[in-house]
Amino acid sequence: MKRIDKIHTDFPTYGTRTMAAQLTLDVKYLVGRKRTGRLMESIGIEAIFPKPKLSLNTKLHPVFPYLLKDIPILKSNQVWSADITYIRMKYGFLYLVVFMDWYARYILSWKLSDSLRTDFCLEAADKALQINIPDIVNFDQGVQFTDEEMIALWESQNTKISMDHKGRCFDNIFTERFWRSLKYEEVYLRDYQTMQEANQSIGEYIEKYNTRRLHQSLGYKTPVQIYRQIN
């Protein structure tokens, strides 16, 4: 599963057929498409059309329009986004949610969970809102973000809710770029034995990402430098 996750991070449009072909090429023996599909499904991965399926969505839910097409992002707290990714451990896996400020690429809050229940996303949302309140928050259409309690939380802050088009992970491009950095600079270099170990190591990485990692797109400044310019 580690190899599948890494291939998906590099080539997020790969479906089961291409993924199986890539695995066969990498490991030098035949890997069947059906087995590949089962492994991808077990960790919530599909090609980005549709998007990685890190949700338990089994019922109708409210869908909000995507509000961010072609709009300029001019300041911190104009747009936040949230997303979930799979985190491999030595035995099993976890899920990580982050809330990010788009202008500064600043990680406002994060939370690890061993399940996809909504509560860990609500905890991360509450933590982010202790810092500030955005004009717009952007989500995918997963059940964690279409949950009634989640919607009510943001509406109580007078924050507009934006939702990605179904199957379009690039509607949330800045978070997708963060996932790639996290996977290659942290997750793929570790073999987390426990959730506690993963929590500590990922927390240290996010702190370093926010306070020490320079971004060319930010004029070679850190996310925290940009975020705190007006906060």
Q: Which residues, in sequence order, are CB contacts of 45 under 8 Å at separation 6+?
A: 4, 5, 8, 52, 53, 86
Q: 37 pLDDT band (50/70/90 cuts)? A: confident
pLDDT score recorded for residue 164: 85
What pLDDT is attached to residue 91?
Answer: 86
For the stretch 186-228, pLDDT in tens is: 999 999 999 999 999 999 999 999 999 999 999 999 999 999 9
In terms of pLDDT, which residue wins out, 198 or 90?
198
How open is the CA angle 7-12-13, to the nearest 5 degrees? Answer: 120
Structure confidence at residue 50 (pLDDT): 44
Contacts of 169 (CB under 8 A, 6+ apart): 12, 48, 51, 52, 140, 176
Given CA atoms 219, 224, 227, 231 in this order, what sign does their dihedral have? Answer: negative
Q: Where are the domains of the chain?
A: 2-42, 79-227
Angle between helices 2-10 and 173-185 (to 10 degrees): 140
Rounded CA separation 174/164 (Å): 13
Beta strands in the chain (DSSP E): 79-88, 93-101, 106-113, 136-139, 160-163
- Phi then psi for 136, rounded to 5 degrees? -135, 140
Task: Please tell us whether the domain made up of 79-227 is placed in CATH 3.20.20.70.
Answer: no
37-54: average pLDDT? 61
Note the pTM of the prediction, 2 decimals. 0.78
Contact (Cβ atoms closer than 8 angstroms) between residue 107 and residue 206: yes
91-128 residue pLDDT tens: 888 999 999 999 999 999 999 999 999 999 999 999 99
What backbone torsions phi and psi does residue 200 show, to the nearest 5 degrees?
-65, -45
CA 19 – CA 21 distance, rounded (Å): 5
Q: In what order do the strands lie in the sheet with 93-101?
A: 106-113, 93-101, 79-88, 136-139, 160-163
Closest by Cα among 61, 137, 144, 46 to 95: 144
Say how far apart CA 145 and CA 83 lie, in whole Å: 9
Q: Is 70 left (phi over 0), alpha (psi -120 to 50) or beta?
A: left
pLDDT band at 18 (very low <50, low <70, confident <90, very high): confident
pLDDT band at 49 (very low <50, low <70, confident <90, very high): very low
